[in-house]
């Protein structure tokens, strides 16, 4: 608890007021990642590997944007820093612990931006939503990485709906959350450069005997691209969330716009 409190306190002054309500959940994720480091290792290694493979195929490596940069445990920080002139991290907030990790790894070319990329407000109003349109203003953009963000956009939108519109019907709610997922995918497809999507797309609830008790679609019925690779991620091993159940997520990776590589 002491380390969590210190991380919270150190992150507070570094975070714009509008994004400070997200600090507790980010600190909680950081704490879980530390507790579950062994269980998460294969997922983080797989993510770093597909990022490295995607970067190696680029003829030009000037600017890279990471959407949902999070804790940066699953990103090859040194490789990205050496490969690109500029790496822009976009998330609701950046924990002090994450900033310290980047500093220790020599990530001097990294820029941190606080931004909500869900498009939730526009989608909720029924307006045209282009939450990734700001990427058109990034000069010499050669790669965008959506890093374990897709499902989180829907989860965040779902929490807002529970708080702000608790009477909303299940069918309407699912349609809106599915739209949040679809808008993100559409935004990646529309980019003028390759975009790597890495995301958990569903999870299973597994009992102590190893049997699957239930399955949950984290994309709310959205049409997904074909996975280039997929793997399991034991997000909550037995005893983490429950003494009787474990949560096993399914992760996919896909590269959009492979033919849109910029010349060096």
Q: What is the pTM of this model?
A: 0.94
List 254's β-bridge partners, or say none. 197
pLDDT, tens digit, 9 for 90 and up, residues 125-140? 888 889 999 999 999 9
Q: Does 10 or 264 have the greater pLDDT score?
A: 10
Check pLDDT > 80 for residue 260. no
CATH class belonging to 2-260:
alpha beta
The string of DSSP codes covering 178-232 is HHHHHHHHHHHHT-SS-EEEEEEEEEEEEETTS-EEEEEETTTTPPPPPPSEEEE
For residue 254, what is the enclosing H or E element?
Answer: strand 245-256
Q: How confident is the model at residue 166 (pLDDT cuts 50, 70, 90)?
A: confident
Q: In the chain, where are the structural domains located?
A: 2-260
State how far Cα 263 lies from the chain centre: 28
Alpha-carbon distance 248 to 234, whole Å?
A: 4
Residues 185, 20, 98, CA angle at the centre, nearest 5°?
70
State how far Cα 211 lies from the chain centre: 28
- The contacts found for 156-162 with CB under 8 angstroms, 24 or more apart, are 156/118, 156/120, 157/118, 157/120, 157/123, 160/120
pLDDT at residue 258, rounded to an integer: 87
pLDDT at residue 81, rounded to an integer: 95
pLDDT at residue 259, rounded to an integer: 83
Q: Does 128 or 203 have the greater pLDDT score?
A: 203
Q: Does 171 or 89 have the greater pLDDT score?
A: 89
List 248's β-bridge partners, or say none. 204
Alpha-carbon distance 208 to 259, whole Å?
A: 46
Helix axes 37-56, 23-35, angle to 10 degrees: 100
pLDDT, tens digit, 9 for 90 and up, residues 206-248? 999 899 999 999 999 999 999 999 999 999 999 898 999 999 9
- Are 6 and 23 in contact by the 8 Å Cβ rule? The answer is no
3-class SS string, 3-70: HHHHHHHHHHHHCCHHHHHHHHHHHHHHHHHHHCHHHHHHHHHHHHHHHHHHHHCCCCCCEEEEECCC
pLDDT at residue 184, rounded to an integer: 97
Q: Which of 188, 148, 155, 151 is nearest to 173 (CA)?
A: 155
Q: Which of 146, 143, 148 is nearest to 43 (CA)?
A: 148
Lookup: tokens for 190: 């529309």
pLDDT at residue 262, rounded to an integer: 79
pLDDT, tens digit, 9 for 90 and up, residues 22-65? 999 999 999 999 999 999 999 999 999 999 999 999 999 999 99
């Amino acid at each position: 608890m002491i380390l969590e409190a210190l991380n919270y306190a150190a992150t507070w002054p570094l975070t714009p007021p509008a994004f400070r309500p997200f600090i507790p959940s980010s600190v909680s994720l950081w704490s879980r990642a530390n507790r579950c480091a062994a269980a998460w290792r294969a997922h983080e290694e797989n993510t770093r590997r597909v990022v490295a493979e995607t970067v190696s195929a680029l003829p030009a490596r000037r600017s890279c944007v990471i959407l949902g940069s999070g804790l940066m445990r699953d990103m090859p920080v040194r490789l990205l820093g050496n490969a690109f002139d500029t790496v822009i991290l976009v998330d609701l907030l950046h924990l002090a612990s994450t900033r310290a990790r980047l500093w220790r790894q020599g990530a001097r070319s990294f820029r941190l931006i606080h931004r909500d990329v869900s498009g939730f407000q526009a989608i909720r109003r029924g307006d045209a939503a282009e939450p990734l349109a700001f990427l058109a203003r990034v000069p010499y953009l050669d790669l965008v990485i959506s890093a374990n963000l897709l499902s989180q956009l829907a989860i965040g939108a779902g929490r807002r709906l529970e708080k702000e519109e608790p009477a909303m019907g299940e069918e309407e709610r699912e349609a809106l959350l599915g739209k949040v997922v679809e808008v993100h995918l559409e935004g990646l497809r529309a980019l003028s450069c390759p975009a790597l999507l890495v995301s958990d797309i569903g999870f299973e609830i597994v009992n102590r005997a190893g049997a699957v008790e239930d399955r949950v679609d984290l994309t709310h019925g959205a049409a997904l691209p074909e996975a280039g690779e997929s793997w399991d991620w034991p997000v909550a091993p037995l005893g983490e969330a429950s003494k009787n159940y474990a949560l096993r997520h399914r992760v996919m990776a896909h590269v959009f716009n492979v033919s849109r590589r910029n010349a060096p």
